Amino acid sequence: MSILVDQNSKICIQGITGKEGSFHTEQMLLYGSRVVCGVTPKKGGSFFKEVPVFNTVKEAKRETDCDVSCIFVPAPFAPDAILEASDAGIRVVVCITEGIPVLDMVKVANAIRGNGTVLIGPNCPGIISPGKTKVGIMPGHIHRKGKVGVISRSGTLTYEVVYQLTQAGYGQSTCIGIGGDPVIGTDFVFHLKEFERDPQTQAVVLIGEIGGSMEEEAAHYVIQNRYPKPVFAFIAGLTAPPDKRMGHAGAIISGGKGGAQEKIQALEEAGITVIRDLSTLGETIRFRLNSQGISPDL
Partner 1 sequence: MKLHEFETKELFKREGITVPEGKVLESIDQLDRILNSLKGPPWVLKAQVHAGGRGKAGGIRVAKDREDAFKGVAELLEKRLVTAQTGKDGVVIKKLLIEEFTPHMGEYYLGITLDRSKALPALILSTRGGMEIEEVAKEDPRAVSKIWVNPLWGFSPYKAREILFGVDPMPDLELHPPLEGLFRKLYEVFWKYDCSLVEINPLAILEDKKFVALDAKMSIDDNALFRHKEFGEDHEGKDPLELEAQSHGLSYIRMNGDVGVMVNGAGLAMATMDIIKLAGREPANFLDVGGGASQEMVRKGFEIILKDPRVRTIFVNIFGGILRCDVLARGMVEALSGIDLKVPMVVRLEGTNVETGREILKNSGLKFSVAQDLKEAIGLIRG
24 is a catalytic site residue: no
Per CB under 8 A, which region of 28-36, 148-156, 222-230, 286-294 contacts partner 1? Answer: 148-156
Span of 143-151, 194-202, 221-229, 272-280 interacting with partner 1 by CB under 8 A: 272-280
Number of residues that bind partner 1 (CB under 8 A): 81
* Position 84 contacts partner 1 (CB under 8 A): yes
List, in sequence order, the alpha helices (H) in 65-171: 78-87, 102-112, 156-167
Residue 255 near partner 1 by CB under 8 A: yes
127 scored as a contact of partner 1 (CB under 8 A): no
Alpha helices in 212-276 (DSSP H): 214-224, 260-269
> Residue from 32, 103, 269, 271 that binds partner 1 (CB under 8 A)?
103
In the complex, minimum distance from the CB of residue 32 to partner 1, in angstroms, rounded to a whole number: 17
Q: Does 62 interact with partner 1 (rule: CB under 8 A)?
A: no
DSSP 17-63: TSHHHHHHHHHHHHHT--EEEEE-TT-TT-EETTEEEESSHHHHHHH
The verdict on 83 binding partner 1 (CB under 8 A) reads yes
Position 116 contacts partner 1 (CB under 8 A): no
Identity of the residue numbered 288: R
* CB of 67 vs partner 1, minimal distance in Å: 18
Q: Is 230 helix (H, G, I), strand (E, B) or coil?
A: coil
Q: Quick one: 36 or 82, whose CB is closer to partner 1?
A: 82
* Cα-trace Rg, the chain: 19
- Give the side-chain half-sphere CA count within 13 A for 216: 12
Closest separation between CB of residue 8 and partner 1, Å? 26
- Candidate list 144, 147, 153, 263; residue touching partner 1; CB under 8 A: 153
State how far the Cα of 35 lies from the Cα of 178, in Å rounded to an integer: 21
Residues from 205 through 224 that contact partner 1 (CB under 8 A): 207, 209-214, 217
Query: Any contact of residue 30 with partner 1 (CB under 8 A)?
Result: no
Can you tell me the distance from the alpha carbon of 66 to that of 68, in angstroms, rounded to the nearest whole number?
6
CA distance 159 to 172: 12
Please state whether beta strands 11-14 and 35-39 pair in parallel, antiparallel, or not at all (unpaired). parallel
Residue 106 is a binding residue for partner 1 (CB under 8 A): yes
Q: Which residues are catalytic?
A: 248
